[in-house]
Structure 1
């Protein structure tokens, strides 16, 4: 494991033409299971317009969002038992992208097909594979996320669209010291404790883990609204960065009642899933869910946690989009690193190395 400080931030938009803009040969988050209902869903992912839908047997499918006849987005069409029908002249395409019917014409042209993507559904997350030219097929299955099916947890999730590059969200999630300043109404707490918390950063070629402990803290509003703490608490923040998503386990227990090194520790848990998928160089999709372990009034407690989570993410969105707008206004003016930037810097280094090798 490496523990060096990392490298400076690199925010420049644009990349050499020979390199992909984003790491390839990865499973990226395309959506949540509940988004695929009775209509096709159009979404641009890694610069590629994609239409997502379910087949008659409930399996997710993804095609290029362009009819090969006159280029109308297939997401403007309708779903039928055998696939998606274009909303312009009615060509019908199956999950493999093959045209199955041309209304009023018996012969289907051999070139009447659209590219199809590998897509999987796991733990209510829809994953899509973006491969390089020499690795079009997935090298394995997408990652599991057990907290969406664990009986001890309840969860909800949603999607944000950001007018900002996706790595700014990585930066935000890997540096939770900002909680004491940005999220005073929800998950914040004492800013000094956040900025001075002991932080351990571990990394390898594809992941970064940031661990922060804040013993003997006053619980923030979100925590007291959801859990019957007796007084001060021992808080923890464990952030796992993966190339296409992050997993964040935050929570607290009554002070001096659990070991913060015990992976099975009790207390109030917030298990966040954060799928951060580029739309373009300068915009992205943020797929989030929050799971919690209610001790009483489960639905009411979950609702409180989700409500507070939405307030928190709304606050982050304002900050990140304002940050990016100002970065554009000031151009290449340099920025200074401080101690809380270690995890984000390492994640950026991993992204760049994978982009170079894609």
Structure 2
């Protein structure tokens, strides 16, 4: 066996280039959700986004930073390092990187080479969400602000959230969220209800630029378990589902009022509300992160009610994850077989056409 030796003046070994997918497999020149603000604590957070390994961290001044997840010395992931007041320190030889990706200290070495740096990503914290810009060019600057989500700052609502990892492409989760007819079959223990009412609900689908809105009304329904646990309904209810798709995320407003008490399309309707933020960010071509929050408007026993809403929402999403990952595994097994569409697929199909057009832009 031949052993290669390198002197300090010789070039270091060059790592093998990856053949994995690239960011260009997805829509670019847009913001994606990288993390929930609550995820950035006292450790760097490593996460692959659009096929690119990224490390996210917060410095002592509260600023959020994102760099490619490698030390430029020997390529240990920076997410395996530690945080300091002004940057992240590599856990192998101690190189200290600031938020711009530049090495500002090499232990035992006074001079820092000018090329001792890694790629910096543009990130912005807004409405308790961390957004990251992916441009068509690697170092491009944003051409717009990240989307706002004012629900997180609305005093009428309390919210909590979490992150799921899916072994399935992100557009399968888009499909799932744009078609809530599945609730009556998949989520009988939480937000489901009568399957026939779900499948036959009045549905209106509209498109505005790169957004799709799906509105469904289910009048004279029996409250599903989550609704009964969170709100004192006295009998039948009138339910609404309003889903707005954006290429980076979906906003879903669901809820109910006492049957016949007020219009379910009134912008200031009362009753029980669940307002969900659903950030879908590709990890790779075949996996994704689902970053979500759920807000509600409890009028009494706020802490207990919100725990019920959060726990049952998480249970619901667990059920979706099982279905979607099984679906994708079977899609690979039956590769080449064509799917058919039914009436509930209108919104999802429009969203897919939008994503495809953005990929080709």
TM normalised by structure 2 equals: 0.93
- Aligned to 1:279, the other structure's residue is in SS state strand
Tell whether 2:319 aligns with 1:315: yes
Aligned residue among 299, 304, 310 for 2:303: 299
In the TM superposition, 1:172-191 aligns within 5 A as: 172-191=176-195
Residues 282-293 of structure 1 correspond to what in structure 2 (within 5 A)? 282-293=286-297
Give the Cα separation in 2 of the matches to 1:186 and 1:236. 16
Closer/same/farther in 2, CA of residues 323 and 85 from structure 1, 3 Å limit: same
On the 8 A contact 2:272/2:296 being kept in 1, the answer is yes
Q: Deviations over 1:296-329 (max 9, x none)?
A: 1111111111111011001000000000000011
Q: Mind listing any 5+ residue stretches in structure 2 that lack a counterpart?
A: 1-20
- Name the structure 1 match of 2:6: none
How far residue 134 of structure 1 moved from its aligned partner, in angstroms, is 8.3
1:351 aligned onto 2:355: yes
Q: Deviations over 1:202-258 (max 9, x none)?
A: 013310000000011111000000000110000000000000100000000001111
User: Quick check: 1:23 aligned with 2:27?
Assistant: yes
> For 1:20, what is the secondary structure of its paired residue?
helix
The alpha-carbon distance between structure 1 residues 135 and 255, as it changes in their structure 2 partners (threshold 3 A), is farther
Q: What is the distance in 2 between the residues matched to 1:203 and 1:24?
A: 21
Greater RCO (CA < 8 Å, at least 6 residues apart)? 1
- Contact 1:193–1:214 (8 Å) recurs in 2: yes
Extract structure 1 runs of 4+ deviating beyond 3 A: none
Does 2:96 match 1:96? no
Aligned twin of 1:144 = 148
Change (3 A) 1:135 1:24: farther
Number of residue-to-residue matches in the alignment: 341
Q: Which has the higher Rg, Structure 1 or Structure 2?
A: 2
Partners of 2:23 and 2:52 within 8 A in 1: no
Task: Report the equivalent of 1:193.
Answer: 197
After TM superposition, list the pairs within 5 Å mapping 1:1-358 onto structure 2.
Answer: 20-133=24-137, 136-357=140-361
- The CA RMSD measured in Å over matched residues stands at 1.3
